Amino acid sequence: MRLMRAILVPLLFSSLCAQAGNLMEVTQLYQNGKTEQALAALETYTASLPKDGWGRNVTRARFLKGVMLADLKRTDEAIQVFDRLTIDYPDLPEPYNNLAALYVSQGKYEAARDTLERAMHTDPTYASLHDNLSDVYARLSSHAYESTLHNTSGKAAPERIRELCENYGKMASQAAGRKIAPRADADFALLHDIPASRTVAAQPPKHLDVDEMAMENPAGHAAPAELLSGSRQKPVAAASAKHEPADHAPEETHAILGTVQAWSSAWSGKNVGSYLAHYAPDFKLPGGGTRAAWAARRRERISRPKSIRVNVEAPQVTLTDASHARVTFRQNYRSDSLQTNGRKTLLMVRSGGKWLIQEELAGG
C-alpha cells in the first residue's frame, strides 16, 4: 500500500503540473497574438479535463476561452461562455464584467446594465464594475436623448430630454457610489484573467433538484441551507427586477415564461408525462447517467408524495441569442415530505419551434 501511494502521489502531482503547464502554454500563445492557435490548444487542453471538473485551472480555461472568442469577433459564442460562467460561479464579478462588455459591443445597453447590476452584488467594492456601470448609464442617457429628440416635438421636448438626462445621471452616480459625470465614450475593455484569490475560493457549480433531498429528510423538515441558498451571492434588490432589456423580443419572453409556468403546473399536478416533455432531448442530466434512469427517478419522486405544490416567483428572462435563454426565479416547493424555498436557474433552448429546458440548476 505504501509503495502504491508512493507511485500515485508523484503521478498525480506530475499530472497536475502538466495541466498547469499546458494552460501556461495556451496563455503564452495568446499573449503572442496567436489567438486561433491558442484557442485550438485550449480546446485540446479542456478536452483532457474531467467532465464537470472545477477548480482554478478549469475556471481560468473557460474564462480565457471567452476572451479569445471575443477577440476573434465570435461574440455570440463568447456571450454564451461568460453567461454560463455567471451561472456556475455567481460570486465572481469578472465574467459579469465581460458579459456586459460584449452586450455593449452589440448595442444592448439595457442587458449590459442588468448584468452589471447583478455583478454589483458579488463585490460592491470592485472598481471596474462601478466605472462600467456609470458608462453604461451614460450611453443609455445619450440614446434616450437622441430618441426623444427625434420622436418628441413641440415645447415638451426640451423638458422631457432634461428629465431623462437628469434621471440617468442620478442613477449613474448612485451606481458608481460617487458624484461624477459618466463618460459616454469611455473604453469598455474585457478583463483577461481572474485573480487567483477568487478562483481558489470559488465554490463548484451546483446541479441539484430542490426535491432531491426528499428521501433523506423527515416529513415536514426543510432542506439543508446549502440547498436553499445556491450560492453566497446576496439577494438582488427588488428594484433591479423590474428592468427588462428592450432588445428582448416580447413574444419570445412570453413564450419562455409560458413554458416555465406549464412546467411548474405539470409538476404540481403530478402529471409526469407533461413534466418530462418540458425537457430538451439534450438536457444535461444531473450527476450523469442515462436519460431513461433520470426519467424513472423523477417519475418515482414526483409520484411518491400525496401532494406537491410548486410556485414560480419573480421570474426573470435573459435571451442570450435567438435560440438560448436563461430564466432565474425563486421556487417555492412544498410536499408532504419536503419544504424548500430557494433560487433556481433554468437554461432554455428553442427546439422544434418551442422552448425546452436544457439544464436545471440550484441558485442564480
Is 276 among the domain residues? yes
Is 352 among the domain residues? yes
CA pair distance 168, 290, nearest whole angstrom: 51
Q: What is the CATH number of the domain that holds 240?
A: 3.10.450.50
Question: Are 301 and 230 in a shared domain?
Answer: yes
Domain that holds residue 56: 49-142+171-198
Is 38 among the domain residues? no
Q: Is 359 helix (H, G, I), strand (E, B) or coil?
A: strand
Question: Are 224 and 81 in a shared domain?
Answer: no
Q: What is the CATH number of the domain that holds 97?
A: 1.25.40.10
Q: What predicted TM-score, i.e. pTM, was given to this entire model? A: 0.56
Is 156 among the domain residues? no
* Long-range contacts of residues 326-332, Cβ cutoff 8 Å, at least 24 apart: 326/83, 326/87, 326/364, 327/256, 327/257, 327/260, 328/364, 329/260, 329/364, 331/210, 331/264
Number of H helices, E strands in the chain: 13, 4
Residue 329: what are its φ and ψ, rounded to 5°? -165, 170
Question: Are 292 and 354 in a shared domain?
Answer: yes
- CA nearest neighbour of 263 among 187, 183, 354: 354
Compute the half-sphere exposure of residue 290: CA atoms within 13 Å on the CB side of its CA: 3
Question: Are 189 and 56 in a shared domain?
Answer: yes
Task: Please report the DSSP string for 299-356 in residue order.
Answer: HHHHHSSS-EEEEEEEEEEEEEETTEEEEEEEEEEEESS-EEEEEEEEEEEEETTEEE
Question: Are 238 and 289 in a shared domain?
Answer: yes
Is 78 among the domain residues? yes
Domain total in the chain: 2
Q: Please say which residue of 198, 215, 246 terminates a domain.
A: 198
Using a 10 angstrom Cβ sphere, with 0-12 exposed, 13-18 middle and 19 or more buried, the burial of residue 32 is exposed
Question: Are 175 and 275 in a shared domain?
Answer: no
> How is residue 33 written as a grid cell?
497574438
Is 151 among the domain residues? no
Question: Are 212 and 192 in a shared domain?
Answer: no
CB count in 10 Å sphere of residue 287: 12
pLDDT at position 162: 57
Question: Are 127 and 275 in a shared domain?
Answer: no
Question: Are 225 and 109 in a shared domain?
Answer: no
Is 8 among the domain residues? no
Is 98 among the domain residues? yes
Question: Are 334 and 214 in a shared domain?
Answer: yes
CA pair distance 222, 341, nearest whole angstrom: 9
Question: Are 193 and 275 in a shared domain?
Answer: no
CA pair distance 181, 178, nearest whole angstrom: 9
Average pLDDT for runs of 10 along the chain of length 364? 34 38 82 91 84 72 91 91 86 87 86 82 68 75 59 54 55 47 53 67 53 42 40 37 48 92 94 94 84 90 90 89 89 85 89 92 73
β-partners of residue 203 are: none
Question: Are 241 and 307 in a shared domain?
Answer: yes
